[in-house]
Structure 1
């Protein structure tokens, strides 16, 4: 099961390690911990986290604000400010960068969990202000190249490129991932298909959507993916062959 990857940027070692322990016990993956601006930028590029927890004050400077600007301009991921300061001046500076969460120290594990949940939802919603917020409304989020599926108390990350096909289950959709993994999404098949890259995912039948890159064979009636036989509607066949040719 892929985990949400988190970068911690915090210069107080004890607090940073407490955060790591809390996050890992919640089921998240901590990909790096640092209290320096330059190292944080390096880790962002090297580890490609899904979200960053950023202390506003690193050392004696408010370098966390500079890091937030860097994330906005270069990383396109959500970030949460973590700070000991809740004064008006600090809050006003932070607000200008539109963080996806704001956490005041000291905090408990539940506070950390809630901040991450809200940040992921806020980021997914702000990704496209003009689109219908299906991701937020149904608890499943699409961020960058991954779909975050709500399972229990956690978001489980499913890389979009790893999705092989989709099938309906009433008003829900089952995601069939590489390796035989399955995820149930609280969204109808059509709505989920609309959220995915249209040049990569094709409606092969009224009840199936396939990842074009996963197709192993095609005949007049079926598509084969990992030895699974998926129906190919006759009204979809010509368009499917056209799409496959474009990928060659």
Structure 2
């Protein structure tokens, strides 16, 4: 996460959303957008590089903030905090089950927002910095050649994986998933650190949460890439960079 966090605000009360935006700008944060419902929020996330989201639990539309939190956790791999006027036990319990990085109750102050965001930032940073990846050579050369291999811990053993055999990588908050010959290997490692290990001429980040091995790309669509038979989303912000890595007739 960058020093200056870029934050998405999801709040259907305009005055509240505008107040949050002003507070964030005064505190030195960036604002990637203000959404009134889940669909608008997902569109903003797809088009921008957002570092954190502030989600009202009771936004308008058929999808509430808890549903949106699940989508963010599954697809965009960024921390989020909840905002609500309700602090009853049932509401808090439902929100906590999604594992947010913070919880703000209305009314709030500028310092309430600052404290919550900075605690969330610190907790997230600690999580992504905890890695358990070991290299076959015992030395983390950057980048690794395609014929090099990794040892990935699974239960009580380490599985040997050759770099060239990794079809794609998916990020899931504090873990990454390596897909090798239709088998999934889950390790505790950040996507950013893993990208640094991979040979850049072969591995391409096509989405905030996905890195693909270009040698396994079978088809390129408008907003997705087919990799080893799996459809991988391609963000509009990364599309031009991704397409420049391939030859077209």
Q: What's the TM-score, normalizing by structure 1?
A: 0.51
- Residue 2 of structure 1: CA displacement? 6.7
Matches within 5 A, 1:127-138: 127=128
Q: Give 2:120's aligned residue.
A: 119
In structure 1, what is the Cα distance between the partners aligned to 2:82 and 2:63?
Answer: 11
Deviations 1:125-145 (A, max 9, x none): 2336666xxxxxxxxxxxxxx
Match of 2:100 in 1: 99
Counterpart CA distance in 2 for 1:37 and 1:30 is 17
Q: Map 1:135-174 to 2 at 5 A.
A: none
Q: What CA distance in whole angstroms lies between the structure 1 residues aligned with 2:39 and 2:10?
A: 11
Tell me the residue number matched to 2:4.
3
Instruction: Supply the distance in 1 between the matched residues of 2:197 and 2:131 (Cα, whole angstroms).
Output: 23
Asked if structure 1 preserves the Cα contact closer than 8 Å seen for 2:7 and 2:30, the reply is yes
Q: Are 1:24 and 2:18 matched, yes or no?
A: no
Contact 2:8 2:31 survives alignment (8 Å): yes
* Structure 2 gap segments, 5+ residues each: 133-191, 202-249
Residues 56 and 62 in structure 1, CA contact (< 8 A), matched pair in contact too: no
Distance 1:25 1:197, change over 3 A: same
Q: Normalized against structure 2, the TM-score is what?
A: 0.51
Q: Is the 8 A contact 2:38 2:63 kept in 1?
A: no
**CA contact 1:55–1:82 (8 Å) conserved in 2:** yes
Cα RMSD between the aligned structures?
Answer: 2.7
Question: 2:59 is paired with a residue of what secondary structure?
Answer: coil
Query: Whose RCO is larger (CA < 8 A, sep 6+)?
Result: 2
For residues 197 and 40 of structure 1, the distance between their equivalents in structure 2, rounded to whole angstroms, comes to 28
Structure 1 segments unaligned to the other structure (5+ residues): 132-194, 202-211, 214-248
Shift of 1:122: 1.6
- The count of aligned residue pairs is 140
